[in-house]
Amino acid sequence: MRMTVLSAALLCLFGTQALAWGPEGHSVVAEIAQRRLSPQAEKMVKRLLGRGHSLAAIASWPDDERSKRPETANWHFVDMPLSATTYDPQRDCKADPKGDCVIAALDRLRNDLRCVKDDNDRTEALKFAVHFVGDIHQPLHTVLEAGGGNGIAVDIFMRGIKACSGKCEPAHGKQLPQSLGRGPHQHGGLGLGRLC
């Protein structure tokens, strides 16, 4: 019974964050990515961000920047119809004054991280890339219908207790906590080790 009450309290407390990752979600995604960087990518990140700064610390910067630079607004998502089985850039990533989409933005940022010589420009590209990797892994950032997915009800399960009713798909496998440390897949994350 206590667990049910705790679950309900947590839902009320964090319910407003269900529409997006929020700063905490972006920090978690960035921390996971940082732990999985190749040594070469880790060296580049330290050089660009400075000693003692982490990917988690810069992960939400593009959300703050969006109001100052409206041409980046559409870079945070891709609007694919729920019925679509594949990504179609002509349909899903049309450019307008608010930008194109997260997939096109990540493609440009990958090139910027590889090729741009100015460290300030590379640092900005890294900040956007870290954030957008988080955005593209937020399932509702890929949905055209229901206000970009914001109108879709999501069920939440906590420690096996169903907190809401309706359909629910687990967001990750049971092995996620075990896979956060360095290991055989340490070159995953942002893939920066393959970019440099």
Query: DSSP string spanning 2-59?
Result: HHHHHHHHHHHHHGGGGGS-HHHHHHHHHHHHHHT--HHHHHHHHHHH-TT--HHHHT
For the segment 96-120, what is each residue's pLDDT rounded down to a tens digit? Answer: 999 999 999 999 999 999 999 999 9
For the segment 162-174, what is each residue's pLDDT rounded down to a tens digit? Answer: 444 444 444 433 3
Q: How much is the pLDDT for 1?
A: 43
Task: Provide the percentage of residues in the chain whose pLDDT is more than 70.
Answer: 68
Q: Range with the lowest mean pLDDT among 18-32, 59-73, 118-132? A: 18-32
User: In the chain, which residue ranges form alpha helices assigned H by DSSP?
Assistant: 2-14, 22-35, 39-49, 55-58, 61-66, 89-92, 102-115, 119-136, 145-148, 192-195
15-29, 34-48, 133-147, 170-184 — most confident range = 34-48
The domains of the chain are located at 21-137
| Token couple for 15 | 């319910």
Q: Which CATH class is domain 21-137?
A: mainly alpha
